Structure 1
């Protein structure tokens, strides 16, 4: 259909339509993805009150990435079995539980009674707060089911692009809220935001037509036929976990995962780490540190990522990844060697550009290099690759423990090394012969 949407989904017995589905999914992901910065912008407050080492601080700010990355794989498989609404709602509900737990600890113990003994619980609830990040793999698949090929790419970009703006916005807002309402008041407001957002999602979310018909008792073939009449083109491709197992046997899946570990994992890790870097190493107050993080990295990297697909289509994914990781290497080299604020700001912008564009280019390469199991490889790349957001911050914190304040700068050598490794992989892929593009590409399931 020329519009890319079902002509009249209501006449086919479908509740809702593509525009409603996309709007609610994007809103839900915006709400859930805010959990990625649950500790980052206010990390210095926890660091002072709990007396945290650099490693413990790094683990704390990375806590949301643990669940937010690893849960993407099983929840995307679940969504392909029952539809998107239930898995998405469960992930947001877990985020609400996590934020409620953090708030309860603060109400009961902050500030005088809060000690290092509370750290395991604070880490646990922070991990739960990050569950909403995993909703990406659910929402991206459902968006692909709702839209036909003419508009699918644009709608997927809108979902991913608008949904990922919340970390940048919350990085700006959180320090101001901290100064205005205190730590407990800030988390109370955050809890209310999550709770209301989750309720709105549950009330207004709708599954794609195929799953709506299946839930009404129609058999597989009849549900597909009715859903096609409502405009749906893509359908679940079978056992999603089997596709993941197949992808895991293909070496190129792991090369792409390693690159995504550096690119998107780096985006997640540094989004939570940069506020501490700006405040502790460059002496900025918490509000300014949050604003600088958002404007020079978090929001900017998301915008560069949105353009990365178009750049890859024009010059090729291999060339784009090589250039992008080259920028990562150059910018981290500058961050390791400078104490000048303005040089660091410029290097951070370049770093954000490199990581954002590379993240998009990797998914442009995926169907060409793993055509045997695009869906499974997408899940591996998005889930395990995003795990870099949890692994890297403690390594950065180790440099702070070993070198003191200067470790905030020298710690970027971790990303210098990772950037060189990713650059080597990108060059190797460029020199290799890509596999033929599959004639049918399943709905994407990764980030």
Structure 2
């Protein structure tokens, strides 16, 4: 059975780090950690992400029922992203104190009860959608649980793959886009909230049965230690980079159903299919992004990612047809999904001992990026009549991120001594 790796919390952990690294170098990925926990982390993350973005595919139907403006639609789909971002910090603290398994179970129960209550009582106002969005934020906060749950079982040279496979739970957004519009047409959009509880309960049972916390976890940190992380420039850089990669991914996942229905007049079901195709591309490559970063280094991978994202987002702002928009969104999602895996290849190389809270901080930044993109697209549509300004501004943020990676790469490679590529 593998043990938790490289926790320089004390001298004994540091002394054992080199021997652990040497022993694990010859061990294959599938034997280096705990596969059932990796599967549980993926399933939990997958279903949590499905319900986290649920309001996006339902937004066109909800908008018809409640008479929402473009700005209100944008805010409605953005609130779960912001709530999830803030709650990720809370989860990061909780993981270090009671362990990722119990933290995940608490979050799942809150989401199930919230959806069940919304289904039975009904959601009949814009304010009600915002309240539901806050509850769905607990699903988005799963990020700060699932990744440490999986990561703590694996040594540094396998971090990219482990984080990437667990993080491929992003694919849950595909299920929301595929099935929510069809189910809403058949049973009404409010019924979808109740139907979502069924797979959530099933996955909770599996999670409780097979997930295990890694042995010898890092000692819980004091609150002052968490605040100290925000005094380190590297923490802010990693947060900023993830705000663009994950923020772009989840912001688009939540907003594309609205974009396709408003921009091209598609039905909600067809818009869901188009969204699912784009989101699937970004979800599929997340583990590939981690593996790529393991091979060539997270810095080089990120520079490639941001360059591709800029091209795609600028192109989308001027897309003349549905086919062109789809091709460019797929490119954007491929780039951003790869970037998500690449950032989380870097995080444990620099902050392995604080992986729980750093996952929460970095995940929070990603959620804030998603909130900004989703809400800004709604505002751009309402006040300019076009989504283009929202896409162009986010492309500008990707340019800034690219320049920033180029600026810090030399220092990171010189000062991070981890045994893995940076």
TM-score range, shorter chain: 0.7 to 0.9
TM-score (norm 2): 0.83
What runs of 5+ residues in structure 2 fail to find an aligned partner? 5-32
Partner of 1:8: none
CA distance in 1, matches of 2:282, 2:301: 15
Paired position in structure 2 for 1:346? 327
CA apart distance, 1:44: 0.6
The offset of 1:182, in angstroms, is: 2.0
Per-residue deviation, 1:334? 0.8
**Deviation string, structure 1 residues 325-355 (Cα, Å, up to 9, x no partner):** 1111111111111231121111111111221
Report the counterpart of residue 403 of structure 1 in structure 2: 384
CA contact (8 A) 1:63 1:126 kept: yes
After superposition, give the CA deviation of every residue in 1:377-402 in whole Å (9 maximum; x if it has no partner). 44321222322222221111111111
Please say if 1:133 is aligned against 2:133: no
Aligned-pair CA distance for 1:97:
2.6
Residue 95 of structure 1 pairs with residue 111 of structure 2: yes
Residue 55 of structure 2 corresponds to: 39
1:388 aligns with 2:369: yes
Cα deviation, residue 133, structure 1: 2.3
Q: Which residue of 2 aligns with 1:187?
A: 193
Deviation at 1:122, TM superposition (A): 2.0
RMSD: 2.9
1:272 is aligned, of 247, 254, 264, to: 254
Which structure 2 residues correspond to residues 301-316 of structure 1 after superposition, within 5 A?
Answer: 301-316=282-297
In structure 1, distance between residues paired with 2:371 and 2:66: 20
2:265 is equivalent to residue 249 of structure 1 = no
Residue 376 of structure 1 and its aligned partner are, at CA, apart by 4.4
Q: Say if 1:85 and 1:205, in contact at 8 Å, map to a contact too.
A: no
Distance 1:338 1:72, change over 3 A: same
Matched, 1:298 2:279: yes
Deviations 1:67-111 (CA, angstroms, capped at 9, x unpaired): 3222222222222222223211111112113212321343xx7xx
Deviation at 1:159, TM superposition (A): 2.2
1:36-435 paired onto structure 2 within 5 Å? 36-106=52-122, 114=124, 118-146=125-153, 154-161=161-168, 163-202=169-208, 204=209, 206-208=211-213, 232=215, 234-239=216-221, 241-295=223-277, 297-366=278-347, 376-404=357-385, 407-430=386-409, 432=411, 434-435=413-414
**Within 2, Cα distance between the matches of 1:200 and 1:370?**
30
Following the alignment from structure 1 to structure 2, what is the Cα–Cα distance between the partners of residues 151 and 440? Answer: 11
Separation in 2 of the partners of 1:360 and 1:158? Answer: 9
Note closer, same or farther for the CA distance 1:189–1:327 as it changes in structure 2 (3 Å cut): same
How far the C-alpha of 1:136 sits from its partner, in A, is 2.5
Number of aligned residues: 393
* Counterpart-to-counterpart distance in 2, 1:145 and 1:3: 8
Q: Is the 8 A contact 2:159 2:348 kept in 1?
A: no
The Cα of 1:141 is off from its aligned counterpart by 1.8
Q: Deviations over 1:150-197 (max 9, x none)?
A: 876644433222x22211122111111122222233222123333444
* DSSP 3-state at the match of 2:285: helix
Distance change >3 Å, CA 281–CA 158, structure 1 → 2: same
Taking a change above 3 Å as real, the CA distance of residues 130 and 308 of structure 1, as seen in their structure-2 partners, is same
8 Å CA contact 2:299–2:405 kept in 1: the answer is yes
With the length of structure 1 as denominator, give the TM-score of the two structures: 0.79
What SS is found at the alignment partner of 1:130? helix
Instruction: Pick closer, same or farther for the CA change 1:311–1:240 going to 2, 3 Å.
Output: farther
Supply the distance in 2 between the matched residues of 1:150 and 1:208 (Cα, whole angstroms).
20
